[in-house]
Structure 1
Amino acid sequence: MIETDRIEFKEILTETLEKEVVAFLNYRQGGVIYLGIDKNGKMVGIKDTDATQLKIKDRLKNNIAPSCMGLFDIEVEEKQSKHIIKITLASGSETPYYLKKQGMSSRGCFVRLGSASEPMSTQMIEELFSSRTRNSIGKIRSNRQDLTFEQLKIYYEARGLKLNDQFASNLELLTANNEFNYVAYLMADSNGTSIKVAKYEGITRVNLVENNEYGYCSLMKSTKQVLEKLELENKTATLITSKERINQKLWNPVALREAVINAIVHNDYTRELTPTFEIFDDRLEITSANGLSTGIDNEDFFKGFSIPVNREIMRIYKDLDMVEQLGSGMPRILSYYTKKSFDFSNNFLRITFSINDEPIENSGSMGGSMGGSIGGSINLTPRQQEVLEIIKRDKKISYRAMAEQLDINESAIKKHLNKLKEKNLLKRVGGTRGYWELINND
């Protein structure tokens, strides 16, 4: 491991931590800070990780402005028998971020340049401030101030967390004038927001057979209802043989959950639009009101770099374990679906999950010869056939090269290769410097 524009090492918790955090918040790709690793990449470890994590969270909460709550993860990892602390930081949408005690000046504003955190120029600070997102849901006053939060309290208590009398302030549900903001409105027991889950007969929007609305309650409750509905719709095809029971979902459950959560957490609620979920005979479409964030291109998006649109919502969903590590959702989705599943426009993002076409082996009529067959009774998906064709052309091709040709990530490639090995169609000869050998396949 070495320091880069996105990785910073610190041997111990020092007074300069906030400076490094500010630099990553102001950097368009965010970054990661490791505590317990020296500048040469040597693991030295952190002795009291629990106390150190509490100190970090307290310092980031109180020493940086605007608030960066919801923009960072803190976790403990074990490397070379040493415990280190990993701080993952997303790029913020309210740049420039700065050290409170130094103010919005060159002494308080920093940005990542190479492997160093450098002071911002006055011109850069002024340009960022002039373009700062001002119309965020955390700053919009709720049109209702008679809000209650019993549902949210129940969810927190179920996680062993208790919301005290200061919860509205702690969760940033208040405007600068101490009134409930639009985040509070979305999280309240009663509101005017709902999420649509529609079901059509066929592959067009002509024949609507089911139209469900989940909402008018806490957004967290609506999210759970949508997840439950789609889990019910994610039917399982089952084959029972003399040896085993083989199950197969319409859509990959891990990718589906990540896509649902992403659509809801990153939706642009300032436009009073909500995500929609539409089920067709051949696919599921998830559409959210939000294009690519400013400063993020397609490549950054697919690598998991993001600027959380609603960091207050992100923070609540992380508290309740609905969101895991920052930036982990996209890699999970791309482990099962290609980049072609995503369609971007200036104002919307649509994810399309086709019905799972992975055939159930030895299934007779179920799956049939879907994807074609090699060797008589061995069924392959179209993707597995593509992998074999690539290997036919170049038996020394690397994982990365195959991933680039098929426009998927390396973990997905390895998954397909393992399937081909299990079907005794392929084997690896000679390790990393070796080659692929096709078996019973001309």
Structure 2
Amino acid sequence: MSSEHPLWDEIQQGEGKTLEFKQQLPKGDQLAKTLVAFANTSGGKLIIGVNDQRQVVGVQGDEFDLMDQIASMLYSQCQPTLLPNIYLETLEDKTLIVVQVHRGSQLPYHLKSHGRDEGVYVRLGATNRPASLEMIHELERQRLLQSYDEQAAWQVELGELDLTPLTQAFEQVGKPLDTARMKSLKLIREEHGVDRPTHGLMILLGLYEHVEIKCSRFKGTSMAVFLDKKEYRGDLFSQLAQTEGFIKNHLHLKAEILGLQRTETYEIPIPAIREALVNAVVHRDYSNAGRDIKVGIYDDILNIVSPGGLPNGLTLSEALKGRSEIRNKVLARVFKELGYIEQWGSGMSRIRELCQQASNPEPAFSESGDFVDIEFARDTSLAATDTDETGGSIGGPMGGSISGKVAQTELTDRQLAVLELIKRDSHMPYRKMAEELGINDSAVKKHLNKLKAAGAIERIGGTRGYWKVKV
């Protein structure tokens, strides 16, 4: 039966970072774009003979001729040469062509017709995106087994830097930090006979503008109104301590009676939060300026978002199983040396274990586009005195005034955001909405169903139809 076939299970999960469907063999360079993106990211499968609704329709024409066309297209359009595994599968008495590509070792791969500077594609969620110049450089480093933080920073002299935060951190664990040790940790490297700081040292000292953590406490369950916000800069050790303090200030304490003693603990175990913050700091992408770590505290969740996605082709399922890929080798070495990291690949499993030991819900890990997101559930039964405070409005009210039936249903800010996207483009597909909002496809569909039930929108036509706004 189809339902027992492994490929059927993959199809039912829908398109994603490592899976794409095509109803028929795509024309032009669409096939090559997808497989180049797979090769540059985490590998993946392109299944031909499945439509966007996950229905198995089968391929039309001679299967072996189509397989030859695919091999010929890839050879003529991709550079370096891709060597995919092309094979046939049968589901529901229909024939499918599966084109499987593993992550390549000759990164970056590109389309010949576009050239190397504009023809590199990567996979973000279920879409193929042109790689930025920073991403192309990152792929080159991955091919050479180098990391951004190991490279020399040429904009400053080593003697100009105040190393006090770093030397104090090592002194606290009883370890000296002399020049030889700094070289072995690749905090400094010799270039043309001169010792120079690496990007890793600059990041640890917080000397780049984008090395910061932005913290916000929002009122309710949306970002519409904030109660408190802070931006922490400086060395990474201070940022971590200040961020932990901010979170503690906005979490509730719960009391327990153990024997004759009354003890108070935070609603989310602090060691789990600390582990999540260290993960965010150590594994974020520092090569792409203009982005930072964000911590959001709502009435129902604590949210930690780290820019850069999972490193080096790692998938979320692999990370949850304990596989480790290090993006920032200098930072990882230093944090392990200082005892912040117990062992490679243990972060996510340790966070889950700590929450389980505290009888808390398991945190939700997700990769949305180019960000990694961790959500801790809060105990909404605890008294929440801070939610009664007034705060500032972020960006003003969303979507303007809405009257009639919609106003009575009290649409959420997310639903209002979906409505604004539809007003902007009534033909916008689910996938594009999900990218714009930074959520998954299924969440978009739920919001659309709510909007339909509220009478705010109406679907005109089928798959190729559009949304009609009724307010």
Q: TM-score normalized by structure 2? A: 0.45
Q: With structure 1 as the length reference, what TM-score do the two structures score?
A: 0.48
The structure in which a higher percent of residues are helix is: 2
